[in-house]
Amino acid sequence: MLRLSSAAPARAIANIARSQYALKQQQRYLADIKFPQSTPTSTKPGEIKTPGNGIGSKGPLSEPQPVRKSASPVTPTSASPSSPTKVVPPTPAGPKTQTAPPVVAPTSSSAVKTETVTPSSPAEKPVAAAATPPPPPPVKPASDSAPPPPPGSNPVKKTHRLRNFIITLTLLTSLSFGGGVFYSLKSDNFHDFFTEYIPFGEEAVLYFEEREFRRRFPNALSRLMPAKEALPKVTIPRSSGATWRNYEEEKPKTTDVGKHGPHISAKGTKDQQAERAELTGGPKANSSEQKPAEATVLGEKTGPTGKDSAKVEGVTKLGKASGGSNYSISPVEMESVNDPVVQDLVKVVNTIISLVNNSGSAKAFEDVISSAKSELSHLNAQIATIKGDLEKATEEKLKSKDVEFASAAQSLVSKVNSEVSDLEHKWKEEFEHEREKIIQSYRERLGNELERSHKIAEQRLRNELLEQAIEMKRKFIGEIEERVETERNGRLGKLQELTNSVDELSKLSTSWADVIDANLKTQQMHVALEAVRAAYESPEQPKPFLREVAALKEVAGDDGVVSAAIASINPRAYQEGVPTQTQLVDRFRRVAEEVRKAALLPEDAGFAGHASSWLLSKVLFRKQGLAQGNDVESILTRTETFLQEGDIDSAAREMNQLSGWSRTLAKDWLKEARLLLEVQQAVDVIAAEARLQSLRVQERN
Amino acid sequence: MTSTTSNTVAKPRPASEGLLNEKWDHCLANLLVKSTLGAGFGIIFSVLLFKRRAFPAWVGLGFGAGRGYAECDREFKGAAGGVTKTVGERLKRSS
């Protein structure tokens, strides 16, 4: 409690002292009010009633305190918030200036502590109150705490408290928000935090970032925006590009095959055409307009193609025209016009004449034209004479040339003839020469051929001879061999027979050996079997006859029947031996006695049951022979009878019918009987097998 | 002779026909022993507590004999060679 850190301790101690002092003061005051009952400055008489402790009523009590200087330190100790206001009235007289509220705040905490401390020593109070004198030292309040503020300033402050608080709160909030925005612009980490958790933080930060961005790049956005508007508009017409539709001609053709038309009959063509006209009014009109145009074009075209005819026509027309007029110059007419030049000239003149005729002033040009005509005829005559002269000259020249050529040809022919005869002579000579040569070569070849054929013939002859000799030799050898063979076969055949008979003999002997072996085997088996039988039937039983059985098995070898029969025997039988029949009978008598004792036992019998059964069995009547019935007594009687007859098998069967205690008692006997029966059965089987084997051996013979 | 055979063979178990007799032997011996014991206790009690009166001896004998009888009965009932019909039913009921 008192262990306060740093600067606090001194103040705390002072406070404690102060509070103690205040307590004393209070107590003194209490004593005062108790005794005089009336105080000059007491305002609240109701509060004075609770002075019992002097601790809980400190606050209210301090107010009316007459001693002003001591009251100020006490006030903080009061827990009530209204204390400062109430403290004010007594304090104004204080010499020291206020600063009280700030000072009060720290002291209040320490005062509370003192409160807790003070109750620890309640006993001291009265003592102190009694001992210490009431006047407080005047120095203490002056040094300790400042007097409260002036009365005028305090109420104003109080009224503005909430407003101040709100203002400071908003200021602080906005400041921190602004700081947050600023810092979030600086640090990415804080930016994330700020935008995530502070309301409106993201918007604010974004706004500032946007502003920053705009300031830095003033034309960043303007560059993007107008680019779109500036793009020229491209409009694609509706009917552009390729379509799926076939191209339709402007003049729609309506050809309905089903309709009446020229392809069906020639009759309705007109109607058709009318229809068509109706259907296609415009186009029809067009075509009708076009047709005349075409006709005109054709007329024009035909004009140039038929030029000559046009000329002739023109000439005829001229003639007509001249004929038509009053006077006209007759055109030039010449029959013997061969030269084309003259002809052209005539044509020119004729055209001129026609022109003149057409012009109407034919008379004016008559002279000129007539002169021209005469000139023309003259020219024609001159050309004719020139042509005649030329023809004569050429004829003469031709004749002279003909003679020359004939002489030259004759000389050439003679030359050619002489050359041909020379060639003929030469070829004849060469031919002769060649023929002689060929004849000679043929002769040579003939001789060669002859020689060769001779040689071949000789060779063939020799070969034939040799072949004959070889054949003779072969025949000779063959004969000799045949003879030798026959000789040999005569002796060797006998040898073969001998070997065959020897083989047969050996076979016979081996088969006989088999038979002998089998015989031996069967005999051995019989012997072994007899040994076994003797062993188990001997009166010295029980005695093991393992060796006998082993011998039997070995003798039997791989005989399945024998091995199976031996396997069927309980091994205990030949390991420990089997009882003889007499032994069995003997034991049966003992067993029967015991079984009879338990014959009358009730089911699940106890001591009493057994006792009664034992007692009653003594008085039972004995049966004889093959008794009827399934009771124990009759079963026993039957078994005894069977045993006496030597039928162990039936006896065992009978005993097997027992049940309960009697069966339990007869169990051992049954087991022994079964052992004996098993052995007997096995031995019987083996004996049958042995007999069968011996029969087989006999059959083989 | 008998001793040698018994030595060599070392009889594993008695013959089946002797089973009942053996049980009887056991039972009777047990009965005798138990009843003697009971009677002995009865006599002792009678001497010590009952001023030599007779009835405690008879009571002791009866207790011993009864005990022997009960044991015997159980032995006979359980050894009937396999489970008999009634026993099987009883077992079924109990389980």
Residue A289 lies in a domain: no
Q: Tell whether A249 is covered by a domain.
A: no
* Predicted pLDDT of residue B95: 64
* CA max distance for chain A: 211
In a domain, A390, yes or no: yes
A193 burial via Cβ count (<10 Å: 0-12, 13-18, 19+): middle
Domain assignment present for A119: no
pLDDT of the residue at A52: 41
Peptide bond into A60 cis (omega under 30): no
- A665/B20 Cβ within 8 A: yes
CA B84 vs. chain centroid, Å, equals 21
> Last residue of some domain: A454, A486, A519?
A519
Identify the helix (H) or strand (E) that includes residue A31. Answer: helix A8-34
In chain A, residues with a C-beta closer than 8 Å to the C-beta of B73 are 606-608
CA angle at B59 for the pair B53 and B65, rounded to the nearest 5° = 140
Contacts of A597 in chain B (CB under 8 A): 20
Please count the other Cβ atoms lying within 10 Å of the Cβ belonging to residue A123: 8
Does residue A658 share a domain with residue A542?
yes
Residue B30 has a CB neighbour count (10 Å cut-off) of 17
- Beta-carbon contacts of residue A96 (< 8 Å; ≥ 6 apart): A141, A142, A146, A147
**pLDDT tens profile A579-624:** 888 888 888 888 888 888 888 887 777 888 888 888 988 888 888 8
> How far apart are alpha carbons A671 and A179 in whole angstroms?
115
d(CA A349, CA B85): 172
- Residues belonging to chain B with any Cβ–Cβ distance to chain A shorter than 8 Å: 15-21, 23-24, 27, 69, 72-74, 76-77, 80-81, 84-87
Separation in Å, CA of B47 to nearest CA in chain A: 33
Predicted local confidence at residue A345, as pLDDT: 83
Task: Report yes or no on A675 lying in a domain.
Answer: yes
Residue reference for tokens 């001789």: A447
Decide if B18 and A591 are in contact by the 8 Å CB cutoff: no
Taken as a whole, chain A contains a residue count of 701
**Do the Cβ atoms of A578 and A542 come closer than 8 Å?**
yes
pLDDT score recorded for residue A363: 76
Residues A565 and A695 in one domain: yes
Q: Which of A183, A217, A251 is the last residue of a domain?
A: A217
DSSP character at residue B49: T
- A554 shares a domain with A605: yes
The minimum CA-CA distance between A507 and chain B, rounded to whole Å, is: 58
Q: Do A603 and A672 reside in the same domain of the chain?
A: yes
Give the number of domains in chain A.
3
Instruction: Judge if A510 and A563 occupy the same domain.
Output: no
Closest alpha carbon within chain A to B76: A606
Which of the residues in chain A have pLDDT under 70? 1-158, 220-232, 237, 239-243, 245-329, 333-338, 541, 700-701
Residue A167 pLDDT: 92
CA distance B49 to chain A (A): 35
Tokens at residue A455, please?
A: 């040689």
Q: Do B60 and B39 meet the contact criterion of CB atoms below 8 Å apart?
A: yes
Check: CB of residue A633 under 8 Å from CB of residue A666. no
Task: Examine the domain organization and report whether A430 and A488 are in the same domain.
Answer: yes
Q: What is the pLDDT of residue A127?
A: 42
pLDDT of residue A29: 62
**Beta-carbon separation of A603 and B24 below 8 A:** no
Range of the domain at A196: 170-217
Same domain, A479 and A558: no
CA distance A295 to A306: 17
- Three-state SS string over A100-164 comes to HHHHHHHHHHHHHHHHHHHHHCCCHHHHHHHHCCCCCCCHHHHHHCCCCCCCCHHHHHHHCHHHH
Is A573 found in the same domain as A455? no
**Are A510 and A561 part of one and the same domain?**
no
CA distance B25 to chain A (A): 12
Give chain B positions within 8 Å (CB) of A663. 81
The yes/no answer to whether this complex scores an ipTM above 0.90 is no
Q: Ramachandran region of residue A313, left (φ > 0), alpha (ψ -120 to 50) or beta?
A: alpha
Residue A610, domain member (yes or no): yes
